[in-house]
C-alpha cells in the first residue's frame, strides 16, 4: 500500500523573528494538531539540510552567502517584513532540504531515477516559507524558494520533464513566478487576493519567451471564499493539469486565505482547503503522478493547524477522498476564456 511521508525538522523553531506573525508557534501548533491525531498515520521523517548545489539551481551563490553571513553576524532585518536570527540559515537549509527530500521520496528514493512511485503523497512542513523569495532577494518572510527548489530537483535529479506548481497561498508567489518565468518545464499557477502584498501576479502576467503561457495568475478580490477558490481549482487548474500532463504536482500551500487569518481578506474555510486538496489528490490520481505539499503562510494558529490537518487527510487518503462538485464561478470562467489563447482546449 502506498504510504504518505511528512518531513519536519526542529531547526524550524530556531528561526527567531521576534514579535512577528511568521513565528515558531505556527509549527508548534501544526505539529501538536498532527501529533494528537497520530500524524494521520503518515511516516514522519527528519528533513536533511539542502546542499548549496540544490539551492543553487534557483538562487545565485551570492544570495546564499549573503543570508549565511547575515545569520552568522547575529541576524537582522533584510526588509521591513523579513527578519533573520542566528538560527535562520540552518532553518532555511532544512526547509529547502525537506522539500528536496520530499521529492526524493515521491520519486522512489534518493536519486533512484527510475520513476518508481512508492510514496503517493508527501509534505514538507517548515519555516521560513519560500514563495516570495526572488532569485537574488529574500523578501516577504521568505529566504529560499523551497517549492521552486523542489521542482528544480525533480527535473534535474529525477528527470521529470514537467512539473506543475499550484500556489493557493493568499499572496502571489512572486518568487516562484520569477524563477520559472521564462521556462516551459514548470507550469506555475497561483490563485491570490488582489490587490494585496506583494502587488505582483496580474492576470496579464503569463510568463515570457519560452515560458509564455506557462505562468498562470488567477487574482481574486478580497472577500473571495470557498466557491471562488474551488471553482478555479476545478475549472482552471485541473483542466490545465490534464493538458500539461506533468510528472509531479506540487502544492505551495499557504493557509492565509482562511476566513480567520489576520493578514488578508479572503473567506476560505477548513472545508474549502480540504476540498482544494481533494481535487488536487484526484488530479494526481487521474494523471498517475505523485503529489507533494510545501507549507507557505498561514497566521491564525487554530485555522492554520486545522486546515493543515484537513489538507493532509485529503491528500493522503488511501482510496482517494470524496471530491466535491464545484460549479463554474464567473471569475473562473473569465480565466478560462483568457487562458484559451495559450490553452485552446480550456475554452
Ligand atoms: Zn501568504
Res. 117: pLDDT tops 50: no
Give the Å distance between the CA of 317 and the centre of ligand 1: 26
Of 132, 158, 181, 232, which residue is the catalytic one?
132
CB 311 within 8 A of CB 121: no
Mean pLDDT of the chain: 96
Give the Å distance between the CA of 298 and the centre of ligand 1: 6
The reply to whether 132 belongs to the active site is yes
Closest by Cα among 251, 312, 241 to 129: 251
In whole angstroms, how far apart are CA 287 and each of 5, 25, 145, 147, 156?
Answer: 20, 36, 26, 20, 21
Give the Å distance between the CA of 164 and the centre of ligand 1: 19
Residues with CB under 5 Å of ion ligand 1 are 169, 171, 254, 256, 297
What confidence tier does 1 reach under pLDDT thresholds 50, 70, 90?
Answer: low
CB 135 within 8 A of CB 59: yes
Other Cβ atoms within 10 Å of 155 Cβ, number: 20
Q: Mean pLDDT throughout 225-231?
A: 98
Rounded to a whole number, what is the largest CA-CA distance in the chain?
54
Q: Mean pLDDT throughout 276-293?
A: 97
Closest by Cα among 131, 134, 205 to 170: 131
Give the Å distance between the CA of 301 and the centre of ligand 1: 14
Model pTM? 0.97
Rounded Cα distance, 88 and 323, in Å: 39
Give the Å distance between the CA of 118 and the centre of ligand 1: 31
Give the Å distance between the CA of 2 and the centre of ligand 1: 31
Q: Mean pLDDT throughout 323-334?
A: 94
Question: What integer pLDDT is reported at residue 109 of this predicted model?
Answer: 53
Amino acid at each position: 500500500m502506498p504510504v504518505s511521508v511528512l518531513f519536519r525538522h526542529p531547526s524550524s523553531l530556531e528561526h527567531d523573528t521576534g514579535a512577528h506573525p511568521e513565528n515558531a508557534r505556527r509549527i508548534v501548533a501544526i505539529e501538536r494538531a498532527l501529533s494528537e491525531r497520530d500524524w494521520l498515520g503518515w511516516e514522519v521523517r527528519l528533513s536533511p539540510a539542502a546542499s548549496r548545489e540544490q539551492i543553487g539551481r534557483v538562487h545565485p551563490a551570492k544570495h546564499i552567502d549573503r543570508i549565511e553571513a547575515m545569520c552568522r553576524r547575529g541576524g537582522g532585518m533584510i526588509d521591513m517584513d523579513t527578519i533573520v536570527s542566528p538560527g535562520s540559515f540552518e532553518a532555511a537549509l532544512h526547509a529547502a532540504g525537506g522539500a528536496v527530500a520530499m521529492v526524493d521520496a515521491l520519486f522512489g528514493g534518493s536519486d533512484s531515477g527510475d520513476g518508481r512511485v512508492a510514496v503517493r503523497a508527501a509534505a514538507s512542513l517548515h519555516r521560513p516559507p519560500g514563495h516570495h523569495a526572488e532569485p537574488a532577494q529574500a523578501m516577504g518572510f521568505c529566504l529560499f524558494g523551497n517549492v521552486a527548489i523542489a521542482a528544480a530537483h525533480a527535473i534535474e535529479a529525477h528527470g521529470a520533464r514537467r512539473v506543475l506548481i499550484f500556489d493557493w497561498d493568499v499572496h502571489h508567489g512572486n518568487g516562484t513566478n520569477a524563477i520559472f518565468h521564462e521556462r516551459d518545464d514548470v507550469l506555475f499557477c497561483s490563485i491570490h487576493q488582489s490587490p494585496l502584498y506583494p502587488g505582483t501576479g496580474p492576470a496579464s502576467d503569463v510568463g515570457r519567451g519560452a515560458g509564455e503561457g506557462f505562468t498562470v495568475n488567477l487574482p481574486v478580490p478580497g472577500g473571495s471564499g470557498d466557491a471562488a477558490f474551488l471553482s478555479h481549482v476545478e475549472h482552471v487548474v485541473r483542466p490545465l493539469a490534464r493538458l500539461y500532463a506533468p510528472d509531479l504536482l506540487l502544492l505551495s500551500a499557504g493557509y492565509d486565505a482562511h476566513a480567520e487569518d489576520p493578514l488578508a481578506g479572503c473567506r476560505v474555510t477548513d472545508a474549502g482547503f480540504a476540498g482544494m486538496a481533494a481535487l488536487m489528490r484526484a488530479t494526481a490520481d487521474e494523471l498517475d503522478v505523485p503529489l507533494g505539499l510545501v507549507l507557505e503562510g498561514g497566521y491564525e494558529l487554530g485555522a492554520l493547524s486545522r486546515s493543515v490537518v484537513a489538507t493532509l487527510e485529503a491528500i493522503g487518503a488511501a482510496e482517494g477522498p470524496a471530491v466535491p462538485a464545484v460549479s463554474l464561478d464567473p471569475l473562473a470562467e473569465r480565466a478560462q476564456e483568457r487562458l484559451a489563447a495559450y490553452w485552446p482546449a480550456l475554452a
